[in-house]
Amino acid sequence: MSHKPYMVIFKDGCPQSAIDEQKSKVQQAGGTIKQTFDSSIMKGFAATLPESFAQELTTASVGGKHEHM
């Protein structure tokens, strides 16, 4: 299974619990969290993700449809 690097960025006001939930899902899907960003400028994380999981995240967040990403 191929893993590629991605950044997952969350919307302003996103609760930490939602970020933690996504990080857990990444790990359950076989991905690896590389770095976490928690500043006033940006909240999110860098990770290597299986291509199938990356596509799920992309589909969920296109056009701002996802509540937190």
Annotate 14-67 with three-state secondary structure.
CCHHHHHHHHHHHHHCCCEEEEEEECCCCEEEEEEEEHHHHHHHHHHHHHHCCC
Question: Which residues of the chain fall below pLDDT 50?
Answer: none
Q: What is the mean pLDDT of the chain?
A: 89
pLDDT at 8: 92
pTM of the model: 0.84
Whether residue 23 contacts residue 68, with contact meaning beta carbons closer than 8 Å, is answered with no
In this structure, the dihedral spanned by the alpha carbons of residues 56, 69, 29 and 15, taken in order and rounded to 10 degrees, is -150
Domains of the chain from N-terminus onward: 3-64 (3.30.70.80)
The continuous run of DSSP H or E covering 9 comes out as strand 3-10
